[in-house]
Amino acid sequence: MKYSFHVEGMTCEHCEKAVVRAVRQLDNNAQVVADRLQNKVEVESTASAQDITQAIVEEGYQVVA
């Protein structure tokens, strides 16, 4: 499935990498693009949107509906 998340709190390249790493821990084959300037994370994964959201939140970022 393809998902798009509005993620707040990403302020640097390290933040983007942390979000990508968190999603890939759920699905090692996930395609993840984090864009801190647009507060956007695009994910193509077999994991559910809820699981991906939880992974991002646990990493310390806020997912906004």
pLDDT in tens, 2-18: 999 999 999 999 999 99
pLDDT in tens, 21-61: 999 999 999 999 999 999 999 999 999 999 999 999 999 99
Q: How far apart are CA 23 and CA 1, in angstroms?
A: 13
Q: In terms of residue numbers, what domain contains 40? A: 2-64
Strand-pair partners of 35: 40
Q: How far apart are CA 8 and CA 60, in angstroms?
A: 10
What's the structural domain count of the chain?
Answer: 1
Predicted TM-score (pTM) of the model is 0.95
Q: What is the CATH number of the domain that holds 48?
A: 3.30.70.100
